[in-house]
């Protein structure tokens, strides 16, 4: 009995829909957009995956992007308790005289660290940066040494700082890659202070100045981070945006104009959010598997990850991820919490997406003499 016309239409529609979905799922990711800048980089915050880059390791002048490192150090001192937000700083003549963009602090006046931070972050005040540097380290030269120590700790291998402001100097340089590392660390380590980077204006000394990051007005998902400009560096912008559970960091260096750096940054952010997604696959501390441990006080050793595992993949590819675990063939007590005993690998269509060590989630001491002898006997037959 032939199918009614209505039924045939439904079946045809279902087949066409399935074909369309399959085609959409297999759609290749286009090349990143052309970016009119000397160097750029687009990175996912959670997974660390780089989605687009050009000349990302080329040394450039960072201009006021330098102030991200100045802020990172001040935030670190606040967390350590060596300084307080309500603590006052006496403005030196050097800080007052510093050229370039200003917060308009006055020599010998007392200013709180919180106001200086907002003056540096929102208004990009060079005077505020120097005042903070001198207060933290005693002098700007000593603070620059701190900056280089922090850079080394963060893995910024192609950066060198000689001042807290970003004013031009032949030995003051960094790269797009290093700036992305710094930005990621700042957002991760100091979320309570990062919120200031979304502040659109700040008033000090009856002078209101506006944040130079135009994307704070244009794109509601953008919540930072910092602009920079000198004649040699060109127009620079580091931006971060969050849409749903995905956060991206964009670094654009050496654009041609103030509007250009915003436009090129928007291109990169739109590309990343449109074609990629980030998923948390496994949380830190979750037992992913257990391994036999010999000669211990217990027989099973729980294994997992030290940090949350995120992956950034093309959209609509999540169901094609494959997980594999490689566990050490023979584990004997004692075992220390955090010690690696295997590897977790995530692949997409055979390509390695992420690899993390599987570590012991608890310590296991040696078992009793009877237990050790019993396991020694059993191992003879392994």
Question: What DSSP line would sit under 3-63, residue for residue?
Answer: PPHHHHHHHHHHHHHHHHHHHHHTPPPPPPPP--SSEEEEEETTT--EEEEESTTS-B--G
Per 3-state DSSP, the chain is made up of helix, strand and coil in percentages (nearest 5) of 35, 30, 35
Strand, helix or coil at 272? helix
CA atoms of 201 and 103, how far apart (whole Å):
12
Q: Which of 37, 44, 35 is nearest to 183 (CA)?
A: 44
CA atoms of 49 and 87, how far apart (whole Å):
39
CA atoms of 163 and 182, how far apart (whole Å):
16
Strands (E), the chain: 39-44, 50-54, 88-90, 110-112, 201-204, 207-210, 222-230, 234-243, 246-255, 276-282, 289-294, 300-304, 309-314, 321-327, 331-332, 340-348, 351-360
CA atoms of 7 and 23, how far apart (whole Å):
24
CA atoms of 260 and 114, how far apart (whole Å):
31
* Backbone Cα Rg of the chain: 27
Q: Catalytic site residues?
A: 64, 67, 124
């Amino acid at each position: 009995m032939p199918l009614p016309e209505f039924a045939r239409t439904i079946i045809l529609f279902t087949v066409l829909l399935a074909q369309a979905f399959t085609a959409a799922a297999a759609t290749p990711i286009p090349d990143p957009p052309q970016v009119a800048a000397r160097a750029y980089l687009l990175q996912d915050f959670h997974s660390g995956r780089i989605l687009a880059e050009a000349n990302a390791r080329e040394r450039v002048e960072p201009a006021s992007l330098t102030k991200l490192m100045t802020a990172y150090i001040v935030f670190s001192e606040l967390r350590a308790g060596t300084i307080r937000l309500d603590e006052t700083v006496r403005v030196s003549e050097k800080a007052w005289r510093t050229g370039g963009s200003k917060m308009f602090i006055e020599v010998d006046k007392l200013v709180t660290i919180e106001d200086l931070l907002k003056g540096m972050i929102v208004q990009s005040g060079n005077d505020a940066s120097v005042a903070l540097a001198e207060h933290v380290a005693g002098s700007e030269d000593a603070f620059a040494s701190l900056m280089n120590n922090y850079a080394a700790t963060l893995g910024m291998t192609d950066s060198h700082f000689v001042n807290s402001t970003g004013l031009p100097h032949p030995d003051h340089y960094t790269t797009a890659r290093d700036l992305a590392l710094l930005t990621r660390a700042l957002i991760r380590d100091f979320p309570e202070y990062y919120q200031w980077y979304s502040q659109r204006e700040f008033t000090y000394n009856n002078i209101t100045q506006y944040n130079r990051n135009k994307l704070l007005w244009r794109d509601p998902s953008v919540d930072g981070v910092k602009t920079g400009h000198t004649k040699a560096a060109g127009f620079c912008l580091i931006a971060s945006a969050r849409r749903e559970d995905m956060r991206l960091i964009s670094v654009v260096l050496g654009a041609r104009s103030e509007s250009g750096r915003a436009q090129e940054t928007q291109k990169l952010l739109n590309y990343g959010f449109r074609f990629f997604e980030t998923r948390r696959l496994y949380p830190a501390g979750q037992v992913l598997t257990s391994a036999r441990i010999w000669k211990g006080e217990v027989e099973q050793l729980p294994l997992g990850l030290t940090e949350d595992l995120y992956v950034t993949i093309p959209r609509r590819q999540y169901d094609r991820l494959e997980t594999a675990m490689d566990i050490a063939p023979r584990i004997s007590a004692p075992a220390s919490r955090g010690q690696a005993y295997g590897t977790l690998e995530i692949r997409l269509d055979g390509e390695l997406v992420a690899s993390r060590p599987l570590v012991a989630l608890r310590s296991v001491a040696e078992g009793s003499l009877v237990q050790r002898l019993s396991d020694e006997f059993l191992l003879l037959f392994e």
